[in-house]
Structure 1
Amino acid sequence: MMLRVLYLWILGALAPASVFAAALPTPEHGPALRIQGSNTIGAALGPALVEGLMREQGLIKVHREIPGTTNELRIAGETAQGRRVVVDIAAHGSSTGFTALQAGTADLAASSRPIKDGEVSNLRSLGDLKSPVAEQVIAIDGLAIILHPHNPLTQLNTDQLARIFSGEAKSWEDVGGVGGTIHLYARDDQSGTYDTFKELVLSGRGKALSATAKRFESSEQLSDAVSQDPQAIGFIGLPYVREAKAVAIADGPSQAMLPLNSLIATEDYPLSRRLFFYLPPNGKNPWADALVAYAQSSQGQAIVAANGFIAQTVQAMAVTPNALMPEGYQALSRHAQRLTVNFRFEEGSATLDNKARQDLSRVLDYIKQRDKTNRQVTLVGFGDAKTDPARADLLSKLRAMAVRRELVKRGVVFREIRGFGAEMPVAANSADEGRIKNRRVEVWVY
C-alpha cells in the first residue's frame, strides 16, 4: 500500500511526460483502462483527462469513437510503433461505477457523490475504498438550480427546493414567484447528481422526489429542456447550465449564494459537491494509477477548469467585509486575503478528511512559492452550533490547531490562530451534512 501511495505521488507531483510514457505498458488485447460511473464526469471531463494522459504518454492520433451505445465512449490513440491503445468510458450514473467494480468490468469508478457504506462493504475484497489512496477528489462542482431564462425569480432556499421537488409547492406563486404550475426536471435514479440533490435537499427533510418529475440520463438534455419551458425548474452540474438561468441558494441561516467559482471552490455554496475517482487499492492496472495521478497534477487540474468545473488550484481572493461578519473577521478581511480552500474533517472527529489531506500539499506549495512561511498565515476555525457557545468557540479553534500541526511539521510559522465558533454558518445545522460543512478551517495570507 505504501509503495502504491508513493508511486501515485511521484507520478502526480514530479514526473515529466517521459516518465509517464515509460511507466505504462501497452496491453496486447482489450482496453488499457475501463472507466464506469458518473455521467457528470464521463460526458466530457473524464474523456478530456484520458486524452491528456494519452498525449503525456506520447501517443499520437488521439481521438474519440462512439461505439453505438448512448453515454458510452472510446478514447483511442496509437504508439509511435503503430500499436492501438484504447480506454473505454461508460457514463450511466455513479452507482453503476461501483457495481462495475464489483463485477470486475471496470478498473476505475467515476462518481459525483461519496461512496456509500453499503458499497464500501460490497467492495471490501478490492481494499478500503474510503482510504486516502482510493478516494480521490478530482474536482469541485456545484449543483445549479436552473430556471427558464425569463423566470424573474432570483433566489430560493433549500426548504423551498424540498417543497418544490417533492410536489408540495405546485405553483410558482407558492414560493413567491409568478408563472403558474411548476414543471419538474430531474436526473435519473442512477445519477450521482440526483443522489447529491436527494441527500442535500430532500432526504434530510423527510421528502422524496415527486413522481411528476421528468427524468433524464443526460445532463445536457435536461438543461436544454428547462431552457425551453417557461414553467420549468431543474438541478444540474455547473458546466451544464448552458442556456438556462441559475438562481442563488440559501441553506438555513446562510446568505443566499450564486454558484460562483470562489464559493464552490471553498465549498461554501450550499449545493457544492466533490467529484471523485475511486481507485481500488488492490487493483493492478497502472493506467488507472496514472490517470488518478494525472487528474491531480497541474495539467489535469487545468483540464478540470477548461471543462467548466472548479479546479483545486489554490488562489488568494479578496473578501469584502460586511455587517453580518464578526468584527474580528471584518478586520481580517481588510488586511489579508483568503485562500480558495477550506479544510474539513471526517464525520464526528477532528481528523482531516481525504480531500483536506490532498489540500495540505497544495496550500503548502502556495505558501512556500510566495515566501509566506514566516508569520504571514492565519488559520480561522468554525464549527456547528452547540448548546454552550464557549464550547463551540473552543472546538472551532481546536480544528484550526489540527491544521496548524500538519503545516508546522512542514516549516510554516503562523501569525495567528482564530476560532469563531458557530458564527457565519454556510449550511443549516439541522442535518449531518450541514454540520460537517460548518466545521471548517479557512486559510488567510498577508
Structure 2
Amino acid sequence: MPLQRAALALTAVVLATPISAADLEIHGSNTVGASLAPLLVGGYLETRGEGPVTVTETGHANERLVQARVDGKPVEVLVAAHGSSTGFKALAEGRADIWASSRPVKDSEVEQFGHRANLKSLDSEHVIAIDGLAILVHPGNPVTQLSIDTLARIFAGEIRNWSELGGPDRPIHLYARDERSGTWDTFKSLVLGSSYTLAASARRYESNDRLSDDVSRDPSGIGFTGLASVRQSKLLAISEGKAPALKPNQLTVASEDYPLSRRLFMYTPGARTTPMAAQLVAYALGPDGQERVAQSGFISQNPIAVKPEFDDSVPETFQRLTRNYQRLTVNFRFAQGRTQLDNKALRDLERVRQYLEREGRVAADLLLIGFADTQSNELRAQMISELRALSVRRALADLGVRDVAYTGYGHYMPVGGRGSARNGRVEVWIRAR
C-alpha cells in the first residue's frame, strides 16, 4: 500500500541519518505555531536530547525558539507563526523546512511547487491534528446555536443586532482573523463561500488567543478561532443544511462530523525533506505526538471508543444496528468524493490496527458503516455507501485486520448540507464490552 511504502521510506531516513545541529525552521499558521508546534518540537527533542528543552521568545511577535542539546550539540528550532500563507512562501523560498498550515494546500500552490515535490502526496502532506473552528460569543449571550447561513449573514453585516437572533437589543461586533491566516481561509471557505464578503467593520487579529479574549470581554461580540483558543468565551453549536446543530467536541471534531471541522497540516518537500524534519513529522503523527496534540487543546487522531448520545433525528433502524457498539473517534473519508481513501485515511488505517492491538480486540469486534452523499436515487446511494465500507474493509485486510463486518446506510443521516462531501464517509464502530 502507498502508506506502507511512505512509512518505510520515512523510517529509513529517520534511522539512517543522525540529527543535524543546524536550525530547523517551521513557518506558517498561528493556530499551529502558537502552542501546538512548540509542544510537538519539545516532545520530539525530549525523545532525542539530553537535559531540558527550553522555549524562548525571539523578540519578534509570534515567533519562538525551541532549544535542546542532542548528542552533545545545541539544537535550535524556530517556529514562526504569522499565518498559513506565509508558511508556503517560506517553504517555496527555501527558508522553511516545514510549512505549518491550518488549511489544505491550494491547487495554485501545488502547481507552483510542482518542480520540487507534489504537496498533495502522502510524502509531503501530513495531517497532524484535527481542529474545530470555534464560533465564540460573550459568556452572557443567550444565543446557543446558529446555522452556517445565518453565521455568514452575520459576518457579512446583513444581520446587525442580536435581537434578530433572539438575543438582547445590542449591535453585533465582529471579530475575525487576518488575511494571512489559515483560520481566516477556512472560515471564508466554509462559511462565507462565494456569496458573502466580510463586513468592513470586522476587527482583524493575527492571534487566536487575543481575539478570543477580546470577544469574552464584549457582550456584543462574535468571533472565530481555533478550538484550542476558546478560553473564557462561550462556544456556539453550528448546523449545516438540515443536519442537527453540533458543538465541537472529541467525537464530532475527530470524526469531522462537526460542520466547521478542519485538518491541521505540516507540509514537507517530499524527497528533499531534511532528516530532522522527517523525524519530527514521524513523531507528530505517532501515538506519543498525538498525545501531545491532545494536551495542546486540539483533537488527537489516536482513536478512542465513545457511546454517542442519539437525538430524535436518528432512525430507530440505526439505533438497533449500533445498540451493542461504541463509535471510534475516526471516520474514513475519500479523495474527491470517490472510493479512493485520502491521505489521512491511509494513516488512520494503521491507527485502527494499533488500537485493536493495544486494547486486546480483534477484527470481529469492528463494524464499518458506509454513508453516501446525496444521490439521485436510494439504490445508487446504497450501492455507493456499501462500496465505500468495502473499500475500507479491504484496506484493513491488507494490514492483517481481516473479515471486518460492514454495511451501508445510503444517503441517510447526513452530517452536512445537500451535496456536502462530508456526508460521504465510513464510520467505525466497535462492539461494547
**Class of the TM-score when normalised by the shorter of the 2 chains:** over 0.9
> Which of residues 96, 104, 114 is equivalent to 2:86?
96
- TM score, norm. by length of structure 1: 0.92
> Which of residues 426, 429, 432 is equivalent to 1:444?
429
Query: What corresponds to 2:239 in structure 1?
Result: 250
**Distance of aligned partners of 1:294 and 1:10 in 2 relative to their CA distance in 1, 3 Å threshold:** farther
Counterpart Cα distance in 2 of 1:23 and 1:374: 37
> Which of residues 400, 410, 413 is equivalent to 1:424?
413
Query: What corresponds to 1:116 in structure 2?
Result: 106
Asked if the contact 2:49–2:68 (Cα under 8 Å) also holds between the matched residues in 1, the reply is no
Query: What corresponds to 1:314 in structure 2?
Result: 303
Bigger shift: 313-322 or 148-157? 313-322
> Which of residues 41, 48, 60 is equivalent to 2:51?
60
Asked if the contact 1:101–1:123 (Cα under 8 Å) also holds between the matched residues in 2, the reply is no
Deviation at 1:285, TM superposition (A): 1.0
Q: Percent identity, please.
A: 47
Is residue 42 of structure 1 aligned with residue 44 of structure 2? no
Partner SS, residue 161 of structure 1? helix
Deviation at 1:4, TM superposition (A): 6.2
Asked if the contact 1:179–1:231 (Cα under 8 Å) also holds between the matched residues in 2, the reply is no
Query: What corresponds to 1:184 in structure 2?
Result: 174
1:21-32 equivalences in 2 (<5 Å): 23-27=17-21, 30-31=22-23
> Which of residues 154, 163, 188 is equivalent to 1:173?
163
Counterpart Cα distance in 1 of 2:70 and 2:353: 37
Is residue 78 of structure 1 aligned with residue 69 of structure 2? yes
Counterpart Cα distance in 2 of 1:9 and 1:227: 45
Asked if the contact 1:270–1:426 (Cα under 8 Å) also holds between the matched residues in 2, the reply is yes
Partner SS, residue 77 of structure 2? strand
Query: What corresponds to 1:198 in structure 2?
Result: 188
RMSD of aligned C-alpha atoms?
Answer: 1.9
Counterpart Cα distance in 2 of 1:49 and 1:128: 25
Aligned pair count reads: 429
Partner SS, residue 178 of structure 1? coil
Output the amino acid matched with 1:91.
Answer: A
Is residue 6 of structure 1 aligned with residue 31 of structure 2? no
Asked if the contact 2:368–2:427 (Cα under 8 Å) also holds between the matched residues in 1, the reply is yes
**Distance of aligned partners of 1:348 and 1:319 in 2 relative to their CA distance in 1, 3 Å threshold:** closer
Deviation at 1:3, TM superposition (A): 7.2
Counterpart Cα distance in 2 of 1:293 and 1:186: 33
Asked if the contact 1:166–1:210 (Cα under 8 Å) also holds between the matched residues in 2, the reply is yes
- 1:162-219 CA distances to partner (integer Å, 9 max, x unpaired)? 0001111111122232242100000000101111111111015x11111110000011
Partner SS, residue 126 of structure 1? coil
Asked if the contact 1:36–1:110 (Cα under 8 Å) also holds between the matched residues in 2, the reply is yes
Deviation at 1:10, TM superposition (A): 6.6
Output the amino acid matched with 1:43.
Answer: A
- 1:363-383 CA distances to partner (integer Å, 9 max, x unpaired)? 112224445435322110111
Output the amino acid matched with 1:128.
Answer: N
**Distance of aligned partners of 1:210 and 1:365 in 2 relative to their CA distance in 1, 3 Å threshold:** same
Asked if the contact 1:319–1:333 (Cα under 8 Å) also holds between the matched residues in 2, the reply is no
Deviation at 1:58, TM superposition (A): 1.9
- 1:264-313 CA distances to partner (integer Å, 9 max, x unpaired)? 11111111111000011032411110110010111111110000000001
Deviation at 1:65, TM superposition (A): 2.2
- 1:61-91 CA distances to partner (integer Å, 9 max, x unpaired)? 421222211111111122453x321111110
**Distance of aligned partners of 1:389 and 1:71 in 2 relative to their CA distance in 1, 3 Å threshold:** same
Query: What corresponds to 1:282 in structure 2?
Result: 271
Deviation at 1:415, TM superposition (A): 5.6
**Distance of aligned partners of 1:7 and 1:92 in 2 relative to their CA distance in 1, 3 Å threshold:** same
- 1:369-428 CA distances to partner (integer Å, 9 max, x unpaired)? 445435322110111111212111111111111101111233334463221111111111
Output the amino acid matched with 2:20.
Answer: T
Counterpart Cα distance in 2 of 1:59 and 1:239: 30
Output the amino acid matched with 2:423.
Answer: N
- 1:128-152 CA distances to partner (integer Å, 9 max, x unpaired)? 0000121100000101100001101
1:15-26 equivalences in 2 (<5 Å): 23-26=17-20
**Distance of aligned partners of 1:417 and 1:233 in 2 relative to their CA distance in 1, 3 Å threshold:** same
Output the amino acid matched with 1:332.
Answer: L
Counterpart Cα distance in 2 of 1:221 and 1:139: 22
**Distance of aligned partners of 1:320 and 1:332 in 2 relative to their CA distance in 1, 3 Å threshold:** farther
Asked if the contact 1:382–1:438 (Cα under 8 Å) also holds between the matched residues in 2, the reply is yes
**Distance of aligned partners of 1:80 and 1:249 in 2 relative to their CA distance in 1, 3 Å threshold:** same
Asked if the contact 1:376–1:414 (Cα under 8 Å) also holds between the matched residues in 2, the reply is no
Asked if the contact 1:92–1:190 (Cα under 8 Å) also holds between the matched residues in 2, the reply is yes
> Which of residues 172, 184, 203 is equivalent to 1:214?
203
Partner SS, residue 138 of structure 1? strand
Query: What corresponds to 1:125 in structure 2?
Result: 115
Counterpart Cα distance in 1 of 2:19 and 2:391: 41
Counterpart Cα distance in 1 of 2:162 and 2:106: 35
Deviation at 1:125, TM superposition (A): 2.1
Counterpart Cα distance in 1 of 2:48 and 2:360: 34
Is residue 51 of structure 1 aligned with residue 45 of structure 2? no
1:317-336 equivalences in 2 (<5 Å): 317-336=306-325
Query: What corresponds to 1:296 in structure 2?
Result: 285
Counterpart Cα distance in 2 of 1:374 and 1:184: 49
Asked if the contact 1:378–1:414 (Cα under 8 Å) also holds between the matched residues in 2, the reply is no
Deviation at 1:334, TM superposition (A): 1.4
Which structure 1 residue ranges, 5 or more long, are not aligned?
A: none
- 1:308-357 CA distances to partner (integer Å, 9 max, x unpaired)? 00000111111234432233310123111111100000013210000000
Output the amino acid matched with 1:301.
Answer: Q
Partner SS, residue 125 of structure 1? coil
Counterpart Cα distance in 2 of 1:92 and 1:59: 30
